[in-house]
Amino acid sequence: MRQLSFPRSSALLFLVLAGCGGCDEEADEGALGPATGSVANAPDPTKRLRTPDGYEVIEATDTMRRQRAALDEQRRLDRERWVLTPTTPDPEAGDYTLEEAVTGLPTDGGLVAEIDTTLGTIFCDLFADKVPRTVANFIGLARGARPWWDPRRGEWRRGEPYYDGTIFHRVIPGYLIQGGDLYGDGTGNPGYSIPDEPHPEMTHDRAGLLCMASSDVNENGAQFFITDGATPDLDADSRYTIFGRCRDVEIVERIARVPQLEGNRPMTDVEIERLRVRRVAGGAANAVRTPPRLPDGVTPEEFHRGASPGPGELWDPAARRRREMGEEPDPLDPRTFRPEGGERQRVTE
């Protein structure tokens, strides 16, 4: 299979996890800009090497490289046992509509993708009115409503979300973060492909654009990327369909700058823990993170009773009594959450 590629290459960027113990060797001036002293955690911040956009450059350790190599080798061995090519036809015969994808969702509000990652949550508005086929495919995979080929079981899967547990396998600072590959290396696909869906009003002119990653013309599957800056070179090719816009570009920036190896592969997996699609009044700008799902059979009350007391409960008996009587939200209750920049809210059942 072919590695999904883009028309622009990027210099390999090595970022930090561990330092060199305050060493004071001088660093050469190179592509990352001038610097003197340690490239790791030098006591003097002015001697730390930084990228052109101001991020500190940190070297990865040999231990991390060994761990990454061991994980990749295990994935390679696992894939040798997989059935990579579908043995039966696509149940949808390549035809999956937006109406099918949103079945069961409310009708009010804009379609918003909530991408929970190990480094934060990204909310994206989906352009269903401009590129309905691409959005339908993305929603169907995210919800598990659209069948996809599971190479581990050698069968088409329906009812199981595709993206949960996948990783961002390619990160390029100032350019993009790419993920959504079940194989974890950029060579996978869901067992079928959909055509490109270019729109004349949309260009890769900013950070936060949600786009399809494609190995060739009309070869879109499940992989996607989010831009980490303007990428006008991608407009020369119609195969990178833009189907959404994300608001949380600071999370994208953080993911794009994790320590990485050759091929812009993160040294430590950045996982998509959960990808949900729902309708939100006002779109992604008004979206708040969905409260975490409790284990099957566990109620919020049972979860709360098993939680450790917070600092307020230890020193303020009156506040604790008010919470027990339901007069104010309990910060330990998983049914309460705080939207960004707002007061804690309660999820009603």
Question: Hey, what are 163's tokens?
Answer: 């993206």
- For 280, the token pair is 């939100």
| pLDDT recorded at residue 339 | 52
- CATH 2.40.100.10 segments of the chain: 95-286
* Cβ neighbour number for residue 195 with a 10 Å cutoff: 15
Rounded Cα distance, 254 and 266, in Å: 12
Contact 239, 220 (CB under 8 A): yes
Task: Supply the pLDDT for residue 150.
Answer: 95
Topology (CATH) of 95-286: Cyclophilin (2.40.100)
For residue 5, the model assigns a pLDDT of 52
**CA–CA gap between residue 273 and residue 165 (Å, rounded):** 5
pLDDT at position 75 is 82
List, run by run, the mean pLDDT of 10-residue segments along the chain (349 residues).
47 37 36 36 60 61 80 85 94 93 95 96 97 97 97 95 96 95 92 94 95 91 96 88 95 92 89 96 93 70 52 52 59 50 48
Helix, strand, coil tally for the chain in percent (to 5): 20, 20, 55
Return the residue matching tokens 């352009």: 127
CA pair distance 40, 314, nearest whole angstrom: 41
For residues 341 and 70, what is the distance between their CA atoms, to the nearest angstrom? 41
Residue carrying structure tokens 């190179």: 30
